[in-house]
Structure 1
């Protein structure tokens, strides 16, 4: 299976490097600047599972001239539209696109651009970043990818994809309810990002104050109600697990959105927070805390522009 990884940052770079290390046919689609750095220094991974580096096969957008079997989209949500334009020459009649973006809006955008049959659902879990040398630094042992047909069926193409991605140095799971998996991750990610970004602190710093703990719990409840109104409410066990993780008084955890905000970088506010607020409004739900976070992040994004 010919695999195109779109992006070679902390997510695409890590999973793509593991696949290449395992002998899979992997090509990375990258920007010219990243291509030059990777050609000079290789794709280097610093990981609790062991450091390694590869000499990746690289293409820039103007070099794409034939279809791939599987395209794994790992870009930030705000870069999706340009990515879809870039990959168009690589999408053939049998190409499958596996996005591991946050939220749910990207599924609709990919389907509108290339057809519903082209896209499957994907969720990845990894804590990683690029350091000053352009190396991918994995901050914890977790490295998982879930995937599945959006209608839950066990298709032949998923069997081929599962075979291509399995046993490559990270955990994989074929999900029969990937839509719920996407919503569950959205609940966790949006709650974490909102808590960090509005309170400007780690999970532990927020939870260590009475007002912060009250805010965190109320925000989690608001987002869970949006998921429920959309037909994908979390199980009680998952909600309890999420609440427990995001109200630990000694937790140093922060979201990538908060770290990007602190660094003055673009953030995925519209896709992670704004889209949730829109769905709440469509369901006539009152979500004042979510609205406050959205306003806060909108001001930040306007300042960047």
Structure 2
């Protein structure tokens, strides 16, 4: 199977390195400057113990793409998705599957509209990594898993083939029978955690330990659950308990990548993770006052970045 990984950042670089190391036929679609660095120095991953492994990789730019890929894995940040979609489109032939590992649901709607449901799989990535100052992938926690499944009834690339490609033994790889539910479950959790951390400027444990903190995080969680339920994807008991174990924690230092970006002056995924949830709630008649506040807060931050 010939694979194109779109992006070589914290998610794409980490899992893409695993694919290369396992002998998969992989190209990375990146910008010209990043391509030059990868060709010269390879892709480096630093694990939680500080050990660095560098793997030689094949880097391509948009003008070099052909439609001979079997699987296109999209790993960019949501604010780069529209540009990435333009760049990757020539790589998607009639028998190509597109598998995005982004948060939220807006990108799923866009890809299905563009390529048809049978050429799109949904994907959930759980990983604790960041992009280092020298372009290396820095692992900041041991979590590393992928969940994926087709969105159409007759996928052009069967789930078994996708699983065989992604199951390298370096991370957990799990085929899903209902990937839309998995996507919603993660979105509810991530949006709640990210909105709480960004509004309160702190990790979840510190928020819950403050006066009114647990009432605040619980109310935020219930807003997200209400939108998911109205959309037809209420979280099951296991998913809710798993999320609540973190969201209600009084000692955890857990935050999200959106909080990290906010506190380091970077662009944030406000539209995709928070704004879209607010929009869907409004369309369904579900009030989301706390998420609306978080969205306004993040838009003010973005405006301040210029």
Provide TM-score, normalisation by structure 2: 0.95
Q: Does 1:249 align with 2:250?
A: yes
- Where does residue 102 of structure 1 map in the other structure? 103
- Where does residue 129 of structure 1 map in the other structure? 130
- Where does residue 17 of structure 1 map in the other structure? 17
* DSSP 3-state at the match of 2:158: helix
State how far apart, in whole Å, the 2-side matches of 1:175 and 1:212 are: 35
Once the two structures are superposed, residues 88-139 of structure 1 have per-residue CA deviations (whole angstroms, 9 ceiling, x without a partner) of 2111110000000000010111122222221111111001001222211111
- Where does residue 167 of structure 1 map in the other structure? 168
Question: Residues 152 and 205 (structure 1 numbering): CA distance in 2 closer, same or farther, change over 3 Å?
Answer: farther
Question: Residues 173 and 154 (structure 1 numbering): CA distance in 2 closer, same or farther, change over 3 Å?
Answer: farther
State how far apart, in whole Å, the 1-side matches of 2:232 and 2:199 are: 27
State how far apart, in whole Å, the 2-side matches of 1:34 and 1:273 are: 29
- Where does residue 4 of structure 2 map in the other structure? 4
1:168 CA drift (Å): 4.1
Question: Residues 153 and 228 (structure 1 numbering): CA distance in 2 closer, same or farther, change over 3 Å?
Answer: farther
* Gap regions ≥5 residues in structure 1: none
- Where does residue 223 of structure 1 map in the other structure? 224
State how far apart, in whole Å, the 1-side matches of 2:211 and 2:240 are: 21
Q: Number of aligned pairs?
A: 305
Q: Does 1:145 align with 2:146?
A: yes
State how far apart, in whole Å, the 2-side matches of 1:100 and 1:21 are: 20
* Gap regions ≥5 residues in structure 2: none
* DSSP 3-state at the match of 1:36: helix
Structure 1 stretch displaced more, 231-240 or 13-22: 231-240
- Where does residue 188 of structure 2 map in the other structure? 187
Q: Does 1:35 align with 2:35?
A: yes
State how far apart, in whole Å, the 1-side matches of 2:246 and 2:274 are: 20
State how far apart, in whole Å, the 1-side matches of 2:99 and 2:239 are: 25
RMSD in angstroms over aligned alpha carbons? 1.7
Question: Residues 228 and 90 (structure 1 numbering): CA distance in 2 closer, same or farther, change over 3 Å?
Answer: same
* DSSP 3-state at the match of 1:27: strand
- Where does residue 44 of structure 1 map in the other structure? 44
CA contact (8 A) 1:35 1:58 kept: yes
State how far apart, in whole Å, the 2-side matches of 1:295 and 1:60 are: 36
Question: Residues 71 and 154 (structure 1 numbering): CA distance in 2 closer, same or farther, change over 3 Å?
Answer: closer
* DSSP 3-state at the match of 1:210: coil
1:155 CA drift (Å): 8.1
1:67 CA drift (Å): 2.6
State how far apart, in whole Å, the 2-side matches of 1:106 and 1:15 are: 20
Once the two structures are superposed, residues 142-179 of structure 1 have per-residue CA deviations (whole angstroms, 9 ceiling, x without a partner) of 11111111257898621111111113411101100110
State how far apart, in whole Å, the 2-side matches of 1:235 and 1:88 are: 35
Structure 1 stretch displaced more, 228-237 or 112-121: 112-121
CA contact (8 A) 1:207 1:216 kept: yes
